[in-house]
Structure 1
């Protein structure tokens, strides 16, 4: 009985790697046209026939989920990845986690590699910038895929998205500061042209407008260093700051301390995300609370529902948020 040709036979005949043949079979745009043509000609010569149904079955049975995170150094994203991985493990799935480190090229490489290694599903917390051919890769691979916390550029309607109700969070935090009798309130961090910044700042802008107050938008890096540096240029009359995230707020606290401006007394602060450190610093940092552990669990449930039951998640899902008010915005008690 004649042996049926395999993908390795095609690779040898075309003089390429097995992974390149796999990409051609998936219709990936990452393969040059002349290389793809050579692979298809080799397939014809050796008599290889691609069994897509079998390939999809093999992928679904691997029990392997790909998770690409934009910044695992940020505790917020680390908590999400940990929570999702644990929820998947409870259902017998293993998770491959890659850190793109806010680099679109590395993100594209991670997605390509995970697809090549046969992940059954994929979740991406995207970097900023052009995602390249990622969406076409995912479409060609025909696997369930979700994006979380940020949206890939140009992905509207193509990949389900889940995040938090950031607009409400910004509004609640701003109203809280207004209720303290503060009027000169700034929003610090992020770049205004980015969707995530617009979302987190939208509630702040709406509440300031409703109060008849002039907003003060201060763009900057969304890191501790960015917050620390901002302390040097923060206008003297600023009474309160709503920060893009907790890292910015924690950095700002350090910078203000160096200038002997007392947080909770001379100036009030609110962060965003409510990472664990918020309750551990002094004064304790108020923050918009996003239940990222629950969010990670729910993301895993949605992905597995799609993978195993064909339940495609909604185009967009928003989880609720709340405000945890602490001394940084309520005032320091010296009693």
Structure 2
């Protein structure tokens, strides 16, 4: 017996991606009319029939939640993913995990595939770029979706958005370094112009302005390698800097690694604060002061919200911020 045509067959016949076919099937207005016609003609040519009732049944009863993460190599996101999965498992739901690896095209394809497999809801920490394509797939699927840590859009989010209070975290870190006697404080890491970078930097800038101090900002990749390389640049260009707030803990750990090579005593000559409080902070040398986003509670709360939406139709607040706290350790002289 000849196998029934699939959505992949339609995509091949029409010369488009599988996600484009999905958008056409879901009636999305994001697809151009010429593309829509080509897909419909391809469906007719190969005899593909979309079983909409079966798709609806799958999406409403699958017990699957799609978790799409921008970078699972980062231990901050890995910790969140593991704890979120455990929270869902305790409530009888399974998590389908996807790593977009900061690739917006891959992100859209993965979301389309998860929609086709009938996930009941999405948690997405989006990659940068490709916003309209990802939004089109999510909106067409009509699947409960919560954004975490980052938002696909600036301003009013299209879907509920929850993140730690980045601004407060920056304030706490800067005030702490001032209390420790720092006279010149720099901010290091984070891609320039990104909303998360600006938010994590905003508290730092506000506290400096209140104290009549000039900022020193060195943006860039949120990696250990960037932190280590930029620590040398900072020492050469701004030897007066005695305090550093890093975009995340990976950048801060890079700064710590550079200390011995630069002849800098971390916690005395240069006081360092990270952001996220990943597990490595406790085991680094010296132990790293960091802004904790309390990921265990964040994961539990996110799981509760998506399940309340999927099972009971309770839509979360459109924007919410979770508490942060400064965990003081030796890298800042605490």
Q: TM-score scaled by structure 1? A: 0.88
Q: How many residues align?
A: 326
Deviation for aligned residue 1:192? 3.1
> Which secondary structure state, in structure 1, belongs to the residue aligned with residue 131 of structure 2?
coil
Q: Structure 1 CA distance, aligned partners of 2:324 and 2:184?
A: 24
Kindly indicate whether the alpha-carbon contact (under 8 Å) linking 1:191 and 1:220 is maintained by their aligned counterparts in 2: yes
Q: Structure 1 CA distance, aligned partners of 2:55 and 2:149?
A: 31
Deviation for aligned residue 1:218? 1.2
Kindly indicate whether the alpha-carbon contact (under 8 Å) linking 1:83 and 1:294 is maintained by their aligned counterparts in 2: no
In 2 relative to 1, CA 13–298 (structure 1 residues): closer, same or farther, beyond 3 Å?
closer
> Which secondary structure state, in structure 2, belongs to the residue aligned with residue 231 of structure 1?
helix
Q: Structure 1 CA distance, aligned partners of 2:254 and 2:201?
A: 19
Deviation for aligned residue 1:203? 0.5
Q: Structure 1 CA distance, aligned partners of 2:50 and 2:79?
A: 40
| 1:294 corresponds to 2:297 | yes
> Which secondary structure state, in structure 1, belongs to the residue aligned with residue 187 of structure 2?
strand
Q: Can you list the C-alpha shifts for 1:238-258, whole angstroms capped at 9, x where unaligned?
A: 101000000000011111221
> Which secondary structure state, in structure 2, belongs to the residue aligned with residue 191 of structure 1?
coil
> Which secondary structure state, in structure 2, belongs to the residue aligned with residue 133 of structure 1?
helix
Q: Structure 2 CA distance, aligned partners of 1:72 and 1:251?
A: 19
Q: Structure 2 CA distance, aligned partners of 1:264 and 1:274?
A: 17
Deviation for aligned residue 1:280? 0.7
Q: Can you list the C-alpha shifts for 1:41-95, whole angstroms capped at 9, x where unaligned?
A: 6878999996756532321211111111111011100011111111111111111
Kindly indicate whether the alpha-carbon contact (under 8 Å) linking 2:55 and 2:118 is maintained by their aligned counterparts in 1: no
Q: TM-score scaled by structure 2? A: 0.88
> Which secondary structure state, in structure 2, belongs to the residue aligned with residue 181 of structure 1?
coil
Kindly indicate whether the alpha-carbon contact (under 8 Å) linking 1:108 and 1:131 is maintained by their aligned counterparts in 2: no
The equivalent residue for 2:62 is 62
In 2 relative to 1, CA 166–22 (structure 1 residues): closer, same or farther, beyond 3 Å?
closer
| 1:266 corresponds to 2:269 | yes
- 1:36-51 alignment runs, 5 A limit: 36-37=36-37, 40=40
Q: Structure 2 CA distance, aligned partners of 1:330 and 1:195?
A: 30
| 1:187 corresponds to 2:190 | no
The equivalent residue for 1:218 is 218
Runs of 4+ in 1 over 2 A off after TM superposition: 7-17, 19-24, 27-58, 129-132, 153-157
Which residues of structure 1 form unaligned runs of 5+? 1-6
Kindly indicate whether the alpha-carbon contact (under 8 Å) linking 2:189 and 2:246 is maintained by their aligned counterparts in 1: yes
The equivalent residue for 1:284 is 287
The equivalent residue for 1:164 is 164
- 1:167-246 alignment runs, 5 A limit: 167-234=167-234, 235-246=238-249
Kindly indicate whether the alpha-carbon contact (under 8 Å) linking 1:286 and 1:324 is maintained by their aligned counterparts in 2: yes
In 2 relative to 1, CA 268–73 (structure 1 residues): closer, same or farther, beyond 3 Å?
same
After superposition, the CA RMSD in angstroms is 2.9
Kindly indicate whether the alpha-carbon contact (under 8 Å) linking 2:188 and 2:218 is maintained by their aligned counterparts in 1: yes
Which of 153-162 and 298-307 deviates more? 153-162
Q: Can you list the C-alpha shifts for 1:89-130, whole angstroms capped at 9, x where unaligned?
A: 111111111111111121122112111222111111011223
In 2 relative to 1, CA 15–224 (structure 1 residues): closer, same or farther, beyond 3 Å?
closer
Q: Structure 2 CA distance, aligned partners of 1:16 and 1:36?
A: 13
Deviation for aligned residue 1:296? 1.3
